[in-house]
Amino acid sequence: MSNKKILLSGIQPSGTMHIGNYFGAIRQFVEMQDKYDARIFIADLHAITTVQDNEKLSKNILDITMDYIACGLDPEKVILFKQSDTPEVTELAWYFNCITTMPYLERATSYKDANQKAKEVTVGLFDYPMLMAADILVQDADVVPVGADQKQHVEYARDTAGKFNNTYGETFKMPEAMILKDVAIVPGTDGRKMSKSYGNTIPLFGTDEEIKKAVMGIVTDSGSSVPTNVYNIHMLFRPKNELDAIYKEKEGKYKELKELLIQDIINYITPMREIRNKLSKDMVIEILENGKNKIKPIIEKKMLKIRSNIGLQL
């Protein structure tokens, strides 16, 4: 048994990975894989709250796994698995549902957002925080690295751990959210948070053309000398002092600054692209299968204790 702290996180295979996902989440996992007992999963059960096209879902699962590995995640160091290979989390989410109230879940920003946008919210989407709490708590995770937008969900997991422990006796550890401060929210091409749902992303593994198109589309405010939206994204790729000097020298030359940003992004991702191009579907399937075999015994053991504490184990 290792005495390293347990780090857990998941990412949704719900579309093309963008640089917000990379700087907000994945890069942290990569940096932490040596220091922690790290477990990363593909949150495919969460994804089906939005993706209900089977071909698209399978493709997204494969793609995102390749993306992770290309970004530097090492399956020898990290347990990499698919959430749907651990269906125990849906069982645990049910136990949590039975000690959680509706008004409490109605306060989740994910639900409020969806409620505002969509005409109808599914029960699955409404219950999203409980499934996420199950993912986290079943593994006794110590730290959960996520983007700032997911912080509330980790709070839900903490509350739920407390509630369960009060109801059934000490069962779960308190997880902590870990948020990378300086790039907590990566801005998109329109200045809002970069997000698939806003269509303002720069794809991480896009072609040169796609990256060019996205960067050229960054909204600039012609009134100011510094194109804030370009600068804020550029901050991810160069140290501030270097960037300030360049932006001063090229004041008002938005096109040149965008071209430089395009080049910087391409240079940054080229090594990762090369790794990604070497990965095959079979390799990915095998990696996920290995991950499943490693994580299953850990989860099964915890579930025995949970069922026993609830009184289901006779």
User: Interface residues with ligand TRP (CB under 6 A)?
Assistant: 8-12, 43, 46, 132, 135-136, 144, 146, 150, 153
Extract the tokens encoding 212: 């060019």
Spatial distance between the Cα atoms of 201 and 23, rounded to a whole number of angstroms:
13
Minimum distance, C-beta of residue 240 to ligand TRP, in the bound complex (Å): 28
Point out the residue whose Cβ comes nearest to ligand TRP: 10
| CB 53, CB 13: distance < 8 Å | no
Minimum distance, C-beta of residue 153 to ligand TRP, in the bound complex (Å): 6
Minimum distance, C-beta of residue 25 to ligand TRP, in the bound complex (Å): 7
Sign of CA dihedral 169, 5, 176, 46: negative
| CB 83, CB 33: distance < 8 Å | no
Q: 135 is in the binding site of which of ligand ADP, ligand TRP, none (Cβ under 5 to 8 A by kind)?
A: ligand TRP
Q: 8 is in the binding site of which of ligand TRP, ligand ADP, none (Cβ under 5 to 8 A by kind)?
A: ligand TRP
| CB 39, CB 79: distance < 8 Å | yes
Q: 200 is in the binding site of which of ligand TRP, ligand ADP, none (Cβ under 5 to 8 A by kind)?
A: none
By C-beta, is 202 or 306 nearer to ligand ADP?
202
Residue 71 makes contact with ligand ADP by CB under 6 A: no
Minimum distance, C-beta of residue 115 to ligand ADP, in the bound complex (Å): 17
Q: 114 is in the binding site of which of ligand ADP, ligand TRP, none (Cβ under 5 to 8 A by kind)?
A: none
Q: 144 is in the binding site of which of ligand TRP, ligand ADP, none (Cβ under 5 to 8 A by kind)?
A: ligand TRP
Select from 183, 177, 188 the least CA-distant residue to 150: 177
Spatial distance between the Cα atoms of 80 and 33, rounded to a whole number of angstroms:
11
Minimum distance, C-beta of residue 249 to ligand TRP, in the bound complex (Å): 38
| CB 208, CB 233: distance < 8 Å | no
Select from 126, 123, 128, 130 the least CA-distant residue to 160: 130
By C-beta, is 79 or 260 nearer to ligand TRP?
79
Extract the tokens encoding 27: 């890069």
Minimum distance, C-beta of residue 156 to ligand TRP, in the bound complex (Å): 10
Select from 226, 276, 277 the least CA-distant residue to 254: 226
Residue 197 makes contact with ligand ADP by CB under 6 A: yes
| CB 222, CB 172: distance < 8 Å | no
By C-beta, is 15 or 187 nearer to ligand TRP?
15
By C-beta, is 128 or 247 nearer to ligand ADP?
128
Q: 194 is in the binding site of which of ligand ADP, ligand TRP, none (Cβ under 5 to 8 A by kind)?
A: ligand ADP
* CA 96 to the chain's CA centroid: 22
By C-beta, is 145 or 206 nearer to ligand TRP?
145
Compute how many other C-beta atoms are within 10 angstroms of the C-beta atom of residue 246.
16
Spatial distance between the Cα atoms of 89 and 80, rounded to a whole number of angstroms:
16
Residue 186 makes contact with ligand ADP by CB under 6 A: yes
Binding residues for ligand ADP, total number by CB under 6 A = 18
Burial class (CB in 10 A: 0-12, 13-18, 19+), 255: exposed
